[in-house]
Amino acid sequence: MNFASILFNEPFLVRGVCRVAARRLKIGSYSFRLGIGAVVRPHYGFLVYQAARLAARLGQPRVSILEFGVAGGAGILALEYHAEQVEKLFPVKIEIYGFDTGKGLPDAHDYRDMPYIYKPGFYEMNVPALKARLKRAKLVLGNVSDTVNGFFKEYNPAPVGAVAHDMDFYSSTMAAFKLLDAGCAHFLPRIFCYFDDTIGRETELFGDFTGQRLAIHDFNESHAKVKLTPIYYLRVNPAARQWYHQMWSLHFFDHTDYSTFIGDENSQLPI
């Protein structure tokens, strides 16, 4: 989006300018800047914060954050930054795992993978360079349809509390969803999910019958007790940013902690 488009089409231009200033100058606490979106990749900050918050309320000392589709690594580095900050707010240790082929996008399976905007080899990773910069995150390299199968046994991660899905393809997103069949014990009862490829622009024309939106629909159709649903309180915000519409929550209704109370103790209202 060019400057003219922002100037004439952005309804909250002043807020945006203030947000950029707060991020660059680090005005206020991390919690304040996260709350107004004045942090790097605020959608990733939201995932980390909410996962750690829920883990803390459930008495879980550890939680894992997953990224499917690491590409160059800017996202997973942002997750590390947010994990470092959020650990100061909650008594929870945060683990990060990134899934990627390391070689860029594979061949598209069919029209559902939208080959009209994606080519094999897009988003290739410089594996040595990224590994040299990572402090805590672990890369899980290979075809996701293979790596998800042994992930929990090989890495013994903390319960998963949030997932960023950025694998572009319908087929790759469906393969990533297979991880969710490993059993409730590997997850928090509700996990926060970001789907990058669900809005797009005039070239992508993401819709309900291809890509990630179709994958979300097909996952829900095939699972009776595990469901993805939009996070509606974000979407009704009058100042909702684009990523608010890219957030879903995943519910494990059979999870032993699903009905565990996590609200405020005093919810009485005065007369």
Considering its fold, how many domains does the chain have in total? Answer: 2
182 located within any domain = yes
Confidence of residue 84 (pLDDT cuts 50, 70, 90): very high
Put the strands of the sheet holding 226-230 in their side by side order.
138-141, 93-100, 62-68, 160-165, 187-195, 247-252, 226-230
183 located within any domain = yes
Range of the domain at 27: 9-39
Cα separation, 140 vs 134, whole angstroms: 13
Is the pLDDT at 243 greater than 60? The verdict is yes
Confidence of residue 265 (pLDDT cuts 50, 70, 90): confident
Q: What was the pLDDT predicted at 3?
A: 47
142 and 32 both lie in a single domain = no
Hey, which residues does 68 pair with through a beta bridge?
99, 165
Is the pLDDT at 232 greater than 90? The verdict is yes
The CATH number assigned to the domain holding 218 equals 3.40.50.150
Cα separation, 204 vs 36, whole angstroms: 29
DSSP of the chain: --HHHHHHH-TTHHHHHHHHHHHHHT-S-HHHHHHTT-SSSHHHHHHHHHHHHHHHHTT-SEEEEEEE--TTSHHHHHHHHHHHHHTTTSS-EEEEEEEE-SS------SGGG-TTT--TTTT---HHHHHHH-SS-EEEES-HHHHTTTHHHHH-PPPEEEEEE---SHHHHHHHHGGGGG-GGGEEEEEEEEESTTS--TTT---TTSHHHHHHHHHHHH-SSEEEEE-HHHHT-TT--GGGGGEEEEEETT-TTTT---S-S------
- For 175-185, the pLDDT digits (tens) are 999 999 999 99
258 located within any domain = no
19 and 56 both lie in a single domain = no
Q: What was the pLDDT predicted at 87?
A: 98
Hey, which residues does 139 pair with through a beta bridge?
98
- For 93-122, the pLDDT digits (tens) are 999 999 999 999 999 999 999 999 999 999
Q: Between vectors from CA 201 to CA 37 and to CA 171, what angle results, nearest 5°? A: 95
Please give the residue that has the higher pLDDT: either 96 or 265.
96
148 and 56 both lie in a single domain = yes
Q: What was the pLDDT predicted at 125?
A: 97
The answer to whether the beta carbons of residues 73 and 133 sit under 8 Å apart is yes
Confidence of residue 264 (pLDDT cuts 50, 70, 90): confident
Confidence of residue 254 (pLDDT cuts 50, 70, 90): very high
22 and 108 both lie in a single domain = no
154 and 22 both lie in a single domain = no
138 and 217 both lie in a single domain = yes
